[in-house]
Amino acid sequence: METKNRCYTYFKIVGDFDPDVITAKLGIVPNDRWKTGDHRRNGSLYDFSFWTCGRCDEYDVYVENQMRKTISGLLDRIDVLNQIRNDYDVSFYLEVVPEIYVNDINPCLAPSLDVIDFCHATRTEIDIDLYIFSSEDEEQDNTQIN
């Protein structure tokens, strides 16, 4: 069945650190990164560093499958992640960003035990940024495209 719903997931590190050091320690090329003091597009300065990896845009009604894909490259790096957290006083987040239409099939947002185990082992918080759209929102989106 076709769905209008979407979701993406990713892992992020936030704090005051050099993203290049995180990249070197983890041996993973980030999806996005910046450091404290870098310029935003609007010219203001970031007041925190940011590093992300594992972005998964492959929507699955069982969002736990996307979460698993996101953390899959980190499972063998739990010790390194904990060292990074301790050395740089950073926070870890598993970001889940579902976009749901009211009359569509509801996704399951519950993390699986293996995802919970990873989050517990690394002190990673699960952050769900939920966006809900009505059918009218979709009609407006289509009107704006045409």
pLDDT in tens, 49-105: 999 999 999 999 999 999 999 999 999 999 999 999 999 999 999 999 999 998 888
Whether 47 is in a domain gets the answer yes
Whether 134 is in a domain gets the answer yes
Whether 41 is in a domain gets the answer yes
Instruction: Report pLDDT for 103.
Output: 86
Number of domains comprising the chain: 1
Whether 82 is in a domain gets the answer yes
Whether 122 is in a domain gets the answer yes
Q: Whole-angstrom Cα distance, residue 69 to residue 57?
A: 10
Mean per-residue pLDDT for 28-43? 93
Whether 67 is in a domain gets the answer yes
Please say whether the beta carbons of 52 and 31 come within 8 A: yes
Give, in order, the Cα–Cα distances in Å from 41 to each of 20, 32, 38, 46, 82.
20, 14, 10, 10, 32
Whether 1 is in a domain gets the answer no
Whether 38 is in a domain gets the answer yes
For 119, the domain range is 6-145
| pLDDT bucket at 145, cuts 50 / 70 / 90 | very low
| 0.85 surpassed by pTM | yes
